[in-house]
Amino acid sequence: MNNSTSPLIGQTIASTSIESGGPEQTDFVQLLKEHNDTPDTLYAKVTGDRIAEVLVPFKGSRCAHYGFGKNRNDDFILFRNGAVSDLEPVALTTGGQGFAAVKRFDILQPWSNKEYAICVSPADSGCKHQWLPEHNQVGTVFAISQRIFFDDDENADWTKDEAFRPVQSVRIEQRMIGVHPDEPSAPLAEIDCTHTVDRNGVSVHSVIRWLRPVSIAAGYGMMFPAVGTFIDKLATGLGHVYEATATDRSKTNLIEDDRSLSYAVVHTPDGPDGEHDTIAAMTVRDIAATFRYGQAGRRRSGSVVWLEHRNESIQKLYPQVYDNHTVQPGETYEASGTYFIGELPAAKR
């Protein structure tokens, strides 16, 4: 672990404080927005039933490529992946012009949960704890309604697009219930989740309302999973840099614990497609709610926010907001933040 000042600090940045009188921090999402030429026009398409992709240009034809899609065994539409692609024009079979994406490299780990992951069982039931949403092919989150909007126009039946088309925003709104597979007729929670994609990145807002006493073995909100072949360092808004190359399932506890509101994953070696000039950022919104400041039942051993060195495929940042805790009916957990992929040449220093 390297605790020296982040190489990303020292640029012309927008700084903010997590609370009145708190230290100034680097907001990496804002930093990327200031250093990238992100137009108002982005490109989106529906690729299947509750599956969509969005391209957000950040340098000419180079784009952040974001994917969204439902789980295989439940209904939750997750922020499925984040990559870098090039935008290319294509001729439509119906005439006219559309757009296609040529992927260059992945940054955010596909299929790894980002919004929330909470391991639950009905309190005092003796049932095995299961994850909200689906983990290990066990479905637990099911739709009441799921809607997608391109520029406030709803695609009510998720009609598949032939190619990407220009838009200014994409919004996915979900209302769901969370259930335990052993007691599917007695929901544990109501879950609302909204994803909004525009020139400012991918914004996520999740609200979980507990409907009955629920035992939570572990729970996370606003996670940051990076592809192992991309990330080799994690930087925080408070100026620390952590090595992210171990692959032995070890964990790194963050010195700043839960006080950093922004994080960046960096690729420092040269790469054939500009990997060393590209970073991905995550900034937490309403950090007090997302990290459950001052509330019982957060991680007890080690820092609340920690980095897992799982294997060669993935390094993942976990804010562990629940740890062996029982919630009561009427309690609410709310998590929100923004992800952004863009270019910052200083990332190679």
Domain ranges of the chain: 15-348
CA distance 9 to 6: 5
Architecture of the domain delimited by 15-348: Distorted Sandwich (2.70)
State which residues of the chain have pLDDT below 50.
1-3, 9-20, 348-349
User: pTM for the whole thing?
Assistant: 0.94
Determine the pLDDT at residue 8: 59
Determine the pLDDT at residue 19: 46
Determine the pLDDT at residue 22: 74
Determine the pLDDT at residue 211: 99
Determine the pLDDT at residue 270: 85
